[in-house]
Structure 1
Amino acid sequence: MSESNATILVIDDELRSLETLERTLSFDFTVFTASSVSQAREILNEQWIQVILCDQLMPEMTGVEFLQEVREKWPETIRIIISGYTEAEDIITGINKAGIYQYITKPWQPDKLILTLQNAVQLFDLQRQNELLAIELKMTADSAKRIMDSRRQKLKDAYQDDNGIIRAQNSPMDRVCDQIQQIAGYDVSVLLCGESGTGKELAARALHYNSLRWDKAFVVENCGALPDELLESELFGHKKGAFTGAVNDHTGLFERADGGTVFLDEIGEVSQAFQVKLLRVLQEGEIRPVGATRTRKIDVRVIAATNRDLEQEVREGRFRKDLYFRLAAMIIQLPPLHERRNDIPVLANYLLDQAMSNLGKKVSGISQEAMNCLKAYHWSGNVRELQNEVQRMLVMAREGEMLGAELLSPRVLMSVEPEEQQEMSLLNSFDGTLKERIENIEVKILYETLVRHRWNKTKAAEELGLSRVGLRGKLERYGLEKVELLPAAETSNA
């Protein structure tokens, strides 16, 4: 384990759960474990811990109570609760009293948990950098403003060039970019529709940074991640004492974004009760924090996004028609990645450049064979899934080598057939006789195994339980030959 890995402390009194979390996280982080609060205190006194992942229900005290203690003694450490219980009051208490960064529910998903912890580590680093800047520079208001203006200008510039959307020539995304350019300058609400991972937040940022509000705040809220009570507090704010755990006034995102843009992701997930509250805010242009007696005027542009068919939700009575028409003054539909196959090489190379920069590891590119596999795969997770696949290949590769097809996940390899087989129509589908269907499966298995073993026929035959002669016969029968590995095309924007 590299000494430069972020340090995570996992606290759980259930040993099996503790071991599972340690196995899941140990590849990406330096993990310390504690089965009790007393053990956790000893580790915190001896080790430099960046993030704590703590179970809520423990014998000595609750996770929130312990993290409240951590907040006082080790305030720079990022604090996360993991629990099978999601009472809104517990979440709010955790956020207010213990300064909890995230409240993760069980059962957790490994990829999402790792991503949450990576974001927490980034926040830890940013906090330390901000502290150092404040101490060393002692910035005046004017110098701080110049820095902020410079950063905003850089963001604006990034979204001026093709809206910051990476694509090939004659891409289906061209239409999306044209719509963004046409709509951005008008102060109307926009609804972004598309599958998860298609880049809706990227499109929302492009709309903001190409609008007249570009020099004001752009804030994001995932509406599907919070219960109504907490979502209302996050968006509209609350007064001290408004509910249990509200120990201070809290400014909501709408007020923070005054003059700018609010991006409401997963808007289709909110309850009908909250839809009424949101509709009132959009109609009146004012908010009332929870527990407040007076309203406050706000001036924001709302951009919403959903992976649901909201028109169908309206017809079936699950989404208010009046709110839908408030949000959908303009609608932009983002195509899924499997409809943008010519964009995949450009995106893959761009994502590889990003991954190499983030991981500090260099390779010479993606082979043509691997790129063909990437283009053939369906990508149900869209660009986000492609990003994970490229990063996985980079991690598994040797420094300086080309990323070959053997580094791809089995699910990606199994979705591809060699070019020589594409003209064999019966073998490219599950139509035909039983014999033909079995042959189709056999081709896929042979090809995936050969690619994984870099076309080493001895190893492939050994894995498949065939003799070399038997394997050679099958390759000749199906016309399977090694595809030459060629460097992938250079990254470019349309």
Structure 2
Amino acid sequence: MDIANTALPTVLVVDDEVRSQDAMRRTLDEDFAVLTAGGAAEARAVLEQQEVSVILCDQRMPGLSGVAFLKEVRERWPDTVRIIISGYTDAEDLITGINEAGIYQYILKPWIPNHLLAAVRNAVEAQGLQRDTNRLHLELRSSTPVLRERAASNLAQARQAFDFGRIERAPGSPLDAVCELAARVARYDLSALVLGESGSGKELLARAMHYASPRAGKAFVMENCAAMPDSLLESELFGHKRGAFTGAFEDHPGLFQRANGGTVFLDEIGETSPAFQVRLLRVLQEREVRPVGGVRAVPVDVRVIAATHRDLEQRVRDGLFREDLYYRIAGVTLTVPPLRERVGDIAPIALRLLGDVASEFGRIGPSFSEETLGVLMAYPWPGNVRELRNEIARAVALSEGEKIGAQAFSARVLQGQAAGGLDTAELKGGGIGIPQSGTLAERLDAIEAMILRETLLRLRWNKTRTAKELGLSRVGLRAKMARLGLQG
């Protein structure tokens, strides 16, 4: 048993398998303080000493089952949000336990890291909203000015935290145009489709749109549509009524109802089945949900932002995605470029992540060497920002001194860097390609910057070798680098 001492929301993982505990800790520890327990007895001891926001509990454990333990938690620690993880595939059995224990959400094994992280984020946000609602109701009874001031302050903080300017990028990044378009459409009630590879930052863009919109004062909720079968996804999004199936002992409002007035972010919508697409299309067209087992439809007012790594237009042509639903969700389409197509963003993102990781690990002031930044900028990052963060966390853990050298990164990164460097298209994606307008001098400077950066990256920022290859002195190379705004 361990006790958290942090300002981050605390998540308690209850699982008798150490490997499962470690996997969930790695998935969650960027955003949460993660505690672990091997069973019900150990978890009770944690709860008696530590305030916990969310419990992630495995269903099958020696002694007390997950559902049985969470029934006890519901009685003794009702404010804690309860999530069950199970390998069962029988939806009715799962939902029976969920209703008995008042479980917020269930996650089927094998769980997907993105879905697990999204579920916990939603749970923490739901808990915070409930606490805020209770507090504001008390304030409303006593002092309306206090209520207004508190609500305005909370909204201002959220807008600042998720502002488009907080999406880390370099000057001239391809993300500038994406963020500019997203900011323009955010204030209008258009549906949006965000395209991009896994880990490229689609959720961050969706949150920024929510907090830049008139809906910012309401909830932002998200669901990974690829993570569960249709029956569970419908119950999670649209809710179900008491008695709808065996074990449905109470009404369960879906995410659309919880987000009423706000934004629903549907990640990986391209993975949904045609049958579910029909149900979702009806909800979007009629602006109402019919909970499973319900007779009456419930009006909902939400903005939907959907995301996928798939080519939805191709899936429409292949008959795998409904054309009418595609046009319904694609009021505006935003494409987040992968990290390899915006090389100039790698350095500022890496430095931001380094600060975050160092703070989490209790390290003071680590920095990257010039060689390290060159290696990071030369690797294609197929896992995008998520992979970059994992590599930086590894490097911080393996480095003792203040300077983090390239040798602290995995062989995959070092070999990928050495294998090929960058082509012209990738360099253009980094914000330093040839501009399509401007004076001759400006365009020649852009070409010179591209050649200099390509050579520096290929030679791992060795200035002596770079100067020799380009026929320059070291002083001349440094002068050009300073004039063209190249770091190092």
Fold shared by both chains (TM-score > 0.5): yes
Q: Measure how far apart 1:415 and its partner are.
A: 1.5
Equivalents in 2 of 1:159, 1:130: separation in Å? 19
3-state secondary structure, aligned to 2:418: coil
Residues 79-478 of structure 1 mapped to structure 2, 5 A cutoff: 79-100=82-103, 103-107=106-110, 143-160=146-163, 162-398=164-400, 401-417=402-418
3-12 vs 339-348, greater mean Cα deviation? 3-12
Q: Deviations over 1:444-473 (max 9, x none)?
A: xxxxxxx9xxxxxxxxxxxxxxxxxxxxxx
3-state secondary structure, aligned to 1:224: coil
3-state secondary structure, aligned to 1:170: coil
Q: Measure how far apart 1:115 and its partner are.
A: 5.8
Equivalents in 1 of 2:181, 2:302: separation in Å? 21
Residues 6-21 of structure 1 mapped to structure 2, 5 A cutoff: 10-12=14-16, 18-21=17-20
Q: Measure how far apart 1:22 and its partner are.
A: 6.0
Q: Measure how far apart 1:313 and its partner are.
A: 1.0
Is the contact made by 2:219 and 2:261 (CA closer than 8 Å) also made in structure 1? Answer: yes
Q: Measure how far apart 1:346 and its partner are.
A: 0.7
Equivalents in 2 of 1:2, 1:59: separation in Å? 21
Q: Measure how far apart 1:269 and its partner are.
A: 1.6
Over 3 Å counting, the alpha-carbon distance change for 1:32 and 1:320 in structure 2 is closer
Equivalents in 2 of 1:313, 1:295: separation in Å? 30
Is the contact made by 2:235 and 2:292 (CA closer than 8 Å) also made in structure 1? Answer: yes
Q: Deviations over 1:109-144 (max 9, x none)?
A: 7x779968986997899799989989x999866534
3-state secondary structure, aligned to 2:38: strand
Q: Measure how far apart 1:396 and its partner are.
A: 3.1
Over 3 Å counting, the alpha-carbon distance change for 1:358 and 1:82 in structure 2 is same
Is the contact made by 1:8 and 1:49 (CA closer than 8 Å) also made in structure 2? Answer: no
170-179 vs 70-79, greater mean Cα deviation? 70-79
Q: Deviations over 1:229-277 (max 9, x none)?
A: 2322332233222223332223332233333322211111222111111
3-state secondary structure, aligned to 2:266: strand
3-state secondary structure, aligned to 1:406: helix
332-341 vs 383-392, greater mean Cα deviation? 383-392
Superposition CA RMSD, Å: 4.1
Structure 1 residue identity aligned to 2:274: Q
Equivalents in 1 of 2:51, 2:220: separation in Å? 32
Equivalents in 2 of 1:392, 1:308: separation in Å? 30
Q: Deviations over 1:20-44 (max 9, x none)?
A: 446767998664434xx6x668867
Is the contact made by 1:7 and 1:32 (CA closer than 8 Å) also made in structure 2? Answer: no
Over 3 Å counting, the alpha-carbon distance change for 1:83 and 1:133 in structure 2 is same
Equivalents in 1 of 2:290, 2:149: separation in Å? 33
Q: Measure how far apart 1:159 and its partner are.
A: 4.7
Identity %: 49
Is the contact made by 1:83 and 1:104 (CA closer than 8 Å) also made in structure 2? Answer: yes
Structure 2 residue identity aligned to 1:303: I
Q: Give 2:38's match in structure 1, choosing from 25, 30, 33.
A: 33
Is the contact made by 2:56 and 2:84 (CA closer than 8 Å) also made in structure 1? Answer: yes
Is the contact made by 1:393 and 1:407 (CA closer than 8 Å) also made in structure 2? Answer: yes
Structure 1 residue identity aligned to 2:407: E
Match for residue 433 of structure 1?
none
Equivalents in 2 of 1:46, 1:22: separation in Å? 20
Q: Measure how far apart 1:323 and its partner are.
A: 0.6
Over 3 Å counting, the alpha-carbon distance change for 1:268 and 1:139 in structure 2 is farther
Equivalents in 2 of 1:208, 1:131: separation in Å? 20
Equivalents in 2 of 1:99, 1:283: separation in Å? 31
Equivalents in 2 of 1:294, 1:127: separation in Å? 26
Is the contact made by 2:66 and 2:84 (CA closer than 8 Å) also made in structure 1? Answer: yes
Equivalents in 2 of 1:237, 1:117: separation in Å? 16
Over 3 Å counting, the alpha-carbon distance change for 1:117 and 1:404 in structure 2 is farther
3-state secondary structure, aligned to 1:263: strand
Q: Measure how far apart 1:332 and its partner are.
A: 1.1
Equivalents in 1 of 2:35, 2:165: separation in Å? 38
Structure 2 residue identity aligned to 1:260: G
Is the contact made by 1:78 and 1:120 (CA closer than 8 Å) also made in structure 2? Answer: no
3-state secondary structure, aligned to 1:318: coil
Structure 2 residue identity aligned to 1:186: Y
Q: Measure how far apart 1:372 and its partner are.
A: 1.2
Over 3 Å counting, the alpha-carbon distance change for 1:338 and 1:299 in structure 2 is same
3-state secondary structure, aligned to 1:195: coil
Q: Deviations over 1:336-363 (max 9, x none)?
A: 1111111000111112222234444322
Q: Deviations over 1:161-189 (max 9, x none)?
A: x4432111221112212221332233221
Q: Tell me, which stretches of 5 or more residues in structure 2 are unaligned?
A: 423-459, 461-481, 483-488
Say which one has the larger Rg. Answer: 1
Equivalents in 1 of 2:118, 2:354: separation in Å? 21
Q: Measure how far apart 1:194 and its partner are.
A: 0.8
Equivalents in 2 of 1:118, 1:196: separation in Å? 19
Structure 1 residue identity aligned to 2:413: V
Q: Measure how far apart 1:220 and its partner are.
A: 1.9
Over 3 Å counting, the alpha-carbon distance change for 1:93 and 1:362 in structure 2 is farther
Equivalents in 2 of 1:418, 1:360: separation in Å? 34
Structure 1 residue identity aligned to 2:358: M
Equivalents in 2 of 1:117, 1:322: separation in Å? 29
Q: TM-score, normalised by structure 1?
A: 0.70
3-state secondary structure, aligned to 2:417: coil
Equivalents in 1 of 2:223, 2:22: separation in Å? 31
Q: Deviations over 1:401-438 (max 9, x none)?
A: 1222122122212222299x99xxxxxxxxxxxxxxxx
Is the contact made by 1:236 and 1:253 (CA closer than 8 Å) also made in structure 2? Answer: yes
Is the contact made by 2:122 and 2:221 (CA closer than 8 Å) also made in structure 1? Answer: no
Equivalents in 1 of 2:157, 2:335: separation in Å? 27
Equivalents in 1 of 2:316, 2:108: separation in Å? 30
Structure 2 residue identity aligned to 1:413: L
Is the contact made by 2:372 and 2:406 (CA closer than 8 Å) also made in structure 1? Answer: yes
Structure 2 residue identity aligned to 1:153: A
Equivalents in 2 of 1:209, 1:303: separation in Å? 13
Is the contact made by 1:7 and 1:49 (CA closer than 8 Å) also made in structure 2? Answer: no
